[in-house]
Amino acid sequence: MNEAIKHSHVEVNGVRLHLAEQGEGPLVLLLHGFPESWYSWRHQFGPLAEAGYRVVAPDQRGYARSSQPEDVDAYSVLHLIGDVTALIRELGGEPAVLVGHDWGAPVAWGTAALRPDLVRGVAGLSVPPLPAGPGTLQAARENFGEGFYQIYFQEPGRADAELAADVRSSLRRVLCGLQPGGEPRPWVVPEGRTLLDTIPEPERLPAWLTDADLDAFAADYALHGERAFTGGLNWYRNIDRNNELMAPFTGLRIDVPALYVAGEQDLVNAMIPPGVLDYLLKELTPRLHRHVRLPDTGHWTQQERPAEVTGALLDFLRSLD
């Protein structure tokens, strides 16, 4: 564990967020995805701080050491963007660079689109900018069927209980089960099976994930007991609502410098029709600095390829400076 990382809590936008922080200088906010936490950025803290940046990674609302509102409606994308904007103000108010992975990417892209006055650059890992959020549930049903994981997550309590029954095992399965291996494919649960049936226990951990890493993730998730994963799952339960809330901003361009990084074997690639990615990047990020494609890399971008991701981020940050 990096002993230079400092931990604190801050009250913003009606929630209590846990912050992990290192370094001094211009603010860089690192926004994790599902099912992760501040710890997913463990490899980025030191190098970014040494390069002269103040690096802050919150546990986003509902996750790990942060508070978990009970109301599902409290997890809309506008709540999440509100957390980021309030956090920027709480940390001094100077424009920040946002870096988001997985669900953290739509939050970063959305904040940059709606509040460019608070964002001097934005980087998305795995998930590209989308016109009005991560699609609709009806489109997901039509494209991938009723067993698509985002549909499976909609039933309150079902995935929650499965994942929380053994927090460490569930994290190990998800982090290892969505690994590279052939062509990327969407995560689909066959009829009559459970979520964990699709991601059996791995025989061994990949080189980028250690038992100590799993212990760190699991300890923070276990703080919420039977609701260990409920906060993160509630983000998915707002997908259709997010599209309604973001409808007025459909097509709004992200008018700040941008970076996009993704693994070539990321399952997200199987969810974006051919040609659509280039169109989205061209239309929505006119100030795109680079599109970095990482070979032999799956979904856990900054954990699987820390040197390459950190290098791309440093190159992007230098271009802003």
Query: Which of the residues are catalytic?
Result: 102, 299
Judge contact between 158 and 236, C-beta under 8 A.
Answer: no
Between CA 28 and CA 14 the distance in angstroms is 22
- β-sheet with 27-31: strand ranges across: 6-12, 15-22, 54-58, 27-31, 96-101, 119-125, 258-263, 288-294
Give residue 220's Cα distance to chain centre. Answer: 17
Between CA 50 and CA 23 the distance in angstroms is 7
Sign, Cα dihedral of 186, 187, 192, 193: positive
Residue type (1 letter), 120 = R
**Tokens 């990096």 found at:** 2
Q: Rg of the chain's alpha carbons, rounded to an integer?
A: 18
Between CA 230 and CA 245 the distance in angstroms is 22
**Tokens 């690639």 found at:** 269
Between CA 80 and CA 124 the distance in angstroms is 16
Other C-beta atoms lying within 10 Å of the C-beta of residue 149: 18
Between CA 252 and CA 63 the distance in angstroms is 29
Nearest to 299 by CA among 268, 261, 271: 268
Q: Which residues pair with 259 in a beta bridge?
A: 123, 290
Judge contact between 172 and 202, C-beta under 8 A.
Answer: yes
Q: Identify the three-state secondary structure at position 166.
A: coil
